[in-house]
Amino acid sequence: MSFDEIRNILPQSFPFIYIDVVEKFDEGVCIVTRKNVSGGEHYVQGHFPNRVIYPGVYIIEGMAQSAILLHKLTFINDFEQGDKVHVLSEVNAKFLHSVAPGDTIHYECNAILLYSKTGMVEVKALVRDKLIAKAELKFAVVENINSAAKDKVTI
């Protein structure tokens, strides 16, 4: 799956998409995604001046976006109208190594529990087959208050 296809599925927009390619998808079971970390990205200018590292929060976001892709592609018919959003309810993460420009992160996202309105996944982030971070993410799917409210706004 290409970047253009990914950005049409994810609720985030550029520059806040932290997945470049879907390498593998097994419906309801797992998804493998990839992020190529570039020295030209916006975070590089100050994180950190003497030794640039990819921020951990972006690694977590890449994990969460992988989980969203796994969930939305599995339950594709439930998301046709764009009136629902994914909300992380719990994150249990551990960072083991840093990531730098030039690295490629592979996210391996495996479903533990996956239902149409909730889920739990285990995600591993790897660089050159080395585990750099792992997390267990729990999420819920809720009504998008912005799409519900836009019809009721009066001026």
- Whole-model pTM? 0.88
- Residue 70, Cβ density class (10 Å: 0-12 exposed, 13-18 middle, ≥19 buried): buried
Of the listed 42, 47, 86, 97, which one is catalytic? 47
What is the architecture of the domain spanning 3-150? Roll (3.10)
Examine the residue annotation and report whether 42 is marked as an active-site residue of this protein. Answer: no
Sign of the alpha-carbon dihedral angle for 73, 78, 83, 87: negative
**Predicted local confidence at residue 154, as pLDDT:** 36
Name the residue ranges covered by the structural domains of the chain.
3-150
Q: What pLDDT does residue 146 have?
A: 64
Segment-wise mean pLDDT, segments of 10 residues, the chain, 155 residues: 89 88 96 94 75 92 96 82 75 95 97 94 98 96 65 39
pLDDT at position 50 is 83
